[in-house]
Amino acid sequence: MFISKTSEYALKVLTYMALKNATQFSAQSLYVELDIPKRYLMRLLTDLSKSGFIKATRGRSGGYIFARPIDTIYFSEIINSVEDLQSFEGCVLGNAVCPVDKPCAMHHIWEKPKQAFLETIKTTTLADLL
Amino acid sequence: MFISKTSEYALKVLTYMALKNATQFSAQSLYVELDIPKRYLMRLLTDLSKSGFIKATRGRSGGYIFARPIDTIYFSEIINSVEDLQSFEGCVLGNAVCPVDKPCAMHHIWEKPKQAFLETIKTTTLADLL
DNA sequence: ATAAAATAATACCTACAAGTATTAATTTAT
DNA sequence: ATAAATTAATACTTGTAGGTATTATTTTAT
Ligand code: FES
Ligand code: FES
């Protein structure tokens, strides 16, 4: 499972845009390139727009462009905008946070993969794809 | 998100049993210890039983015991019994597998956390908790 | 024998993520 | 001005993981 389908879509869209280096992307053009249900994609684009990653211009020759320099957009921020990143920080056996005094049975074993994941998404930006 | 709630429950049950070192566990006793909805837990226990991790004995003084030595039970096997481990092996951007010739934009970045996760669950058994 | 205490099977319900449909608003080419 | 091409808003539908309810089966203490 790892991340939600919507996170997957969001990453797909933004990584595509980051690599393609076009000035503007219409929902239609993204739809034909990426394998995401059209209407779902369109709503996602508005969401990503509201979240401040991209900027929409409406109307006949409209579309989306990045709203910020891509070296300021961390993967953690993208994922966090469509699902709760907190669920990754917490305990794998369900505690809201890892209690420092009394960690769960899996705490130690879980530490490495958990940190690898969090560190990767927190220290990597879209620009690192280039 | 990481793993499903059901995986979480399965791990919770089996790690608890592995550490507790009692000869037998009733559904009731597991219910009062672990924070899992009772009926859901009961169904899960039958599932874990069918999967061969534990063995049920019915009747008045029944309950569950491990069906195999716990140093043969890998976390990967537990998770795989309640959700599809394949979804972790595949591409983070949705391809069924990572195409060796043409990996996706995130493939390189994703490699480390992905391997950390898979390696941990594939090389660790319940006995390693002791 | 019978009742109690346990697991098993089956069916149903619920909440939420994922997906779809419809209509509105905005911009620009003509 | 008008129509076309785009994004935005809102509401609805679907699929499925998670959770509940009911009844059946099995075993053992009495
Ligand atoms: S306490 Fe459970 S993972 Fe840290
Ligand atoms: S091809 Fe996407 S993660 Fe490997």
Candidate from B11, B88, B106 with C-beta closest to A15: B106
% of chain B with per-residue pLDDT over 90: 95
Q: Give A10-65 pLDDT, tens digit per residue.
A: 999 999 999 998 999 999 999 999 999 999 999 999 999 999 999 999 999 999 99
Collect all residues with Cβ–Cβ distance below 8 Å to B11 and sequence separation of at least 6: A92, A93, A106, B3, B75, B78, B79
Round to a whole number and report the distance in Å from the CA of B105 to the C1' of C9: 47
| A55 vs B36: CA distance, rounded Å | 44
DSSP letter at A25 equals B
**How many whole angstroms from its chain centre is CA B83?**
9
Q: Which domains does chain A have, with CATH numbers?
A: 5-129 (1.10.10.10)
Strand, helix or coil at A118? helix
pLDDT band, very low/low/confident/very high, at A96 (cuts 50, 70, 90): confident
Work out the minimum CA distance from A59 to partner chain B, whole angstroms: 30
Checking if the pLDDT of B96 tops 90, the result is no
CB atoms A129 and B113 under 8 Å: no
Work out the minimum CA distance from A20 to partner chain B, whole angstroms: 11
Q: Which residues of B touch A90 (CB under 8 A)?
A: none
Per-residue pLDDT, B72? 98
Candidate from A8, A88, A124 with C-beta closest to B109: A124
CB atoms B110 and A87 under 8 Å: no
E runs forming strands in chain B: 54-57, 63-66
% of chain B with per-residue pLDDT over 70: 100
Checking if the pLDDT of A101 tops 90, the result is yes
Nearest alpha carbon to residue B100 among B109, B91, B112, B113: B91
Q: Which two tokens stand for residue B61?
A: 């003084």
Residue of A nearest to B83 (CA): A1
| B40 vs B70: CA distance, rounded Å | 24
Cβ count near A28 (within 10 Å): 12
Residue of B nearest to A128 (CA): B109
Query: Residue A6 to residues A10, A14, B100, B124: CA-CA distances in angstroms?
Result: 6, 12, 25, 31
Comparing every residue's Cα with the C1' atom of nucleotide D6, the nearest one is A59
Per-residue pLDDT, B125? 98
Per-residue pLDDT, B1? 87
pLDDT band, very low/low/confident/very high, at A129 (cuts 50, 70, 90): very high
